[in-house]
């Protein structure tokens, strides 16, 4: 599971490396931020294109999946 600063740099780089290794990764979109909103959204769209290895979710979505 990934979250952090610079969706468009650090988060995306880590997610792509994990996907290249053939491992599934979950990115919590609202627990990340980019240099600006457009960069953040572009990085999320790029990572989403690696589905099913990289899956984008939100904190609420993660809570719904894992329960209380």
- Going from N- to C-terminal start, the domains of the chain cover 2-66
**Stated pTM of the model:** 0.88
pLDDT in tens, 23-67: 999 999 999 999 999 999 999 999 999 999 999 999 999 889 877
Quick check: 1 pLDDT over 70?
yes
Alpha helices in 1-68 (DSSP H): 12-20, 37-48, 59-66
Tell me how far apart the alpha carbons of residues 42 and 24 are, in angstroms, rounded to a whole number: 20
Instruction: Please give the pLDDT value at position 68.
Output: 67
Quick check: 12 pLDDT over 90?
yes
């Amino acid at each position: 599971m990934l979250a952090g600063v610079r969706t468009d740099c650090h988060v995306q780089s880590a997610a792509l490396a994990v996907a290249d290794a053939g491992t599934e990764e979950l990115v919590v979109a609202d627990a990340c931020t980019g240099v600006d909103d457009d960069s953040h959204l572009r990085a999320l769209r790029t990572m989403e294109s690696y589905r099913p290895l990289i899956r984008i979710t939100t904190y609420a979505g993660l809570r719904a999946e894992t329960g209380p």
